[in-house]
């Protein structure tokens, strides 16, 4: 048997011949995506062009180092692709430097922590039950064993106002090296200027984790932390940016002399962070992912993407209003971005895990979530987080939010009636057939 016999040629599906079990699972996931509604706030659909770049032969190339400074030969095209991604990121986010090599959002955050701080140093970030991310100080993470995380909260969970007086007091007492603005389940826009003033007051780096809303920032429909002189922004490249699953670290300042160890100053952040990513934390970058990031960033520069980002927020606001009108209690009573958190215990006297399960039965995918100061544990929290990026990508508009809201409320009302749930599931499938999934053929 030759290699030609073993592996399918160009334009075919190698896994179809090589692994029927994998093929079956992928086809099943394809059908699930076509027939179901994706309301997980951190998920989205890439374009067909992004998928093609992600599955390209760039997978084959090892590229340790950075453009012009690689450890292996044959890098003229990897350098070209990574440079494109870097320049497009700098233009979109109005920053001086971009590192596009982090494998995802968590590695991007970790690389920043390791670059700027020593073991035992302090980071001030959002309390996880108030919307913060796992990498912002969860005790189950490795970083929580290395660094000291302290937390701020909302002052008013009815409006989402951050308690900046509390933050200021904590910062004065704890003297954090980083003050972190960012979230995983916070429905309002942040006051970056207030964060920066507190960071300046204690000599801390102002860092923004914008993984959820990077696409909305790139489109100009939400505020850019760099406009308020933040030092660092980290982000994933999927979610609202509609790229592959990767990460970026964006900074102000320029790379200093690569042959000289940089001083530990804010001006040298780009160099310090680059060295933290490689060789400090990661090995060779995934060039197929970076190629797909470059494509996604090019798409994000278009007027159509701005219209798309505007529609994400319109849909979220409309869905939030519909749910509240029909008796749902939302954390902060609405949203300014792409997501909302339903207080399921107050709304229906069931926890978020059960709500997630009920919606799964009708083909609507969501994610359980804590609510502020949640008395329940993370695996059985009181809330449910939902978002509108993926459904907006499929072309849904405001009127469709009401249809989805009715499906959800109807299912929860009849959560113990299996036949009724099956009936709703069929209606959801019929509804979904109106809206194609980019990059996926329905035949």
pLDDT at 439: 86
Domain 57-300 fold: 3.40.640
Query: Predicted confidence band at 257 (pLDDT cuts at 50, 70, 90)?
Result: low
Task: Quote the tokens at residue 421.
Answer: 């749930």
- pLDDT > 70? residue 328: yes
Which of 11-15, 302-306, 308-312 is least confident?
11-15
Please state, in angstroms and rounded to a whole number, the distance separating the CA atoms of residues 18 and 363.
31
pLDDT at 408: 98
- pLDDT > 50? residue 293: yes
Considering the chain, tell me which residue range(s) the CATH 3.90.1150.10 domain(s) occupy: 308-432
pLDDT at 218: 98
Torsion angles phi and psi, residue 338, rounded to 5 = -100, -5
Please state, in angstroms and rounded to a whole number, the distance separating the CA atoms of residues 441 and 443.
6
Which of 39-48, 132-141, 325-334, 405-414 is least confident?
132-141
pLDDT at 338: 98
- pLDDT > 70? residue 407: yes
Query: Predicted confidence band at 256 (pLDDT cuts at 50, 70, 90)?
Result: low
- pLDDT > 60? residue 432: yes
Query: Predicted confidence band at 443 (pLDDT cuts at 50, 70, 90)?
Result: low
430: exposed, middle or buried (Cβ count in 10 Å: 0-12, 13-18, 19+): exposed
- pLDDT > 50? residue 364: yes
Give the pLDDT mean for 350-362.
98
Q: Which residues are catalytic?
A: 62, 64, 209, 236, 239, 245
Sort residue 253 into left (φ over 0), alpha (ψ -120 to 50) or beta.
left
Task: Quote the tokens at residue 286.
Answer: 């995934």
- Tell me if the bond preceding 361 is cis, omega within 30° of 0: no
**Percent of the chain at pLDDT above 90?**
90
pLDDT at 17: 72
pLDDT at 258: 56
Please state, in angstroms and rounded to a whole number, the distance separating the CA atoms of residues 351 and 344.
6
Domain 308-432 fold: 3.90.1150
Packing angle of the helix pair 164-174, 192-202 (nearest 10 deg) = 20
pLDDT at 5: 41
pLDDT at 19: 87
- pLDDT > 50? residue 309: yes
* Other residues' Cβ atoms within 10 Å of the Cβ of residue 203: 11
- pLDDT > 90? residue 260: no
- pLDDT > 90? residue 385: yes
For every residue of 59-75, which 3-state class applies, written as one string? HHCCCCEECCEECCCCC
Q: pLDDT digits over 50-91, tens only?
A: 999 999 999 999 999 999 999 999 999 999 999 999 999 999
- pLDDT > 80? residue 7: no
> Which position has the higher pLDDT, 214 or 441?
214
For every residue of 316-368, which 3-state class applies, written as one string? HHHHHHHHHHCCCCEHHHCCCCCEEEEEHHHHHCCCHHHHHHHHHHCCEECEE
Considering the chain, tell me which residue range(s) the CATH 3.40.640.10 domain(s) occupy: 57-300
């Amino acid at each position: 048997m030759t290699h030609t016999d073993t592996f399918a040629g160009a334009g075919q599906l190698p896994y179809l011949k090589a692994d029927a079990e994998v093929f079956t699972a992928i086809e099943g996931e394809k059908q699930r995506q076509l027939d179901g509604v994706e309301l997980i706030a951190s998920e989205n659909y890439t374009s067909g062009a992004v998928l093609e770049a992600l599955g390209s032969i760039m997978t084959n190339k090892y590229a340790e180092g950075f453009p012009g400074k690689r450890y292996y030969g044959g890098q003229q095209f990897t350098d070209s692709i990574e440079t494109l991604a870097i320049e497009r990121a700098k233009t979109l986010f109005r920053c001086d430097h971009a590192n596009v090599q982090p494998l995802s959002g968590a590695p991007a955050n970790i690389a920043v922590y390791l670059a700027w701080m020593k073991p035992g140093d302090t980071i001030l970030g959002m309390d996880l039950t108030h919307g913060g991310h796992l990498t912002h100080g969860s005790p189950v993470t490795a970083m929580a064993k290395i660094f000291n995380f302290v937390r701020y909260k909302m002052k008013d969970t009815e409006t989402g106002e951050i308690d900046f007086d509390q933050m200021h007091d904590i910062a004065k007492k704890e003297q954090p090296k980083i003050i972190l603005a960012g979230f995983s389940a916070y429905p309002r826009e942040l006051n970056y200027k207030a964060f920066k003033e507190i960071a300046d007051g204690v000599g801390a780096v102002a860092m923004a984790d914008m993984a959820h809303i990077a696409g909305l920032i790139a489109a100009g429909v939400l505020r850019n932390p760099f406009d308020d002189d933040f030092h660092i922004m980290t982000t994933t490249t999927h979610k609202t940016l509609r790229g592959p699953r990767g990460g970026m670290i964006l900074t102000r300042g320029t790379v200093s002399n690569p042959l000289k160890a940089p001083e530990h100053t804010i001006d040298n952040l780009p160099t310090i962070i680059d060295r933290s990513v490689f060789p400090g934390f990661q090995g060779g970058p995934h060039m197929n992912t970076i190629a797909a990031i470059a494509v996604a960033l090019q798409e994000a520069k278009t007027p159509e993407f701005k219209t798309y980002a505007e529609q994400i927020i319109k849909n979220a606001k409309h869905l939030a209003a519909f749910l509240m009108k029909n008796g749902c209690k939302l954390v902060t009573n609405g949203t300014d971005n792409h997501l909302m958190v339903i207080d399921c215990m107050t709304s229906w006297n069931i926890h978020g895990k059960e709500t997630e399960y009920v919606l799964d039965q009708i083909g609507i995918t969501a994610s359980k979530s804590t609510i502020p100061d949640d008395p329940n544990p993370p695996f059985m929290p009181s809330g449910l987080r939902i978002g509108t990026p993926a459904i907006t990508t499929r072309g849904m508009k405001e009127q469709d939010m009401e249809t989805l809201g009715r499906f959800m409320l109807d299912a929860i009302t009849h959560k113990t009636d299996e036949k009724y749930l099956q009936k709703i599931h069929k209606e959801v499938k019929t509804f979904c057939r109106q809206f194609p999934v980019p990059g996926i053929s329905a035949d």
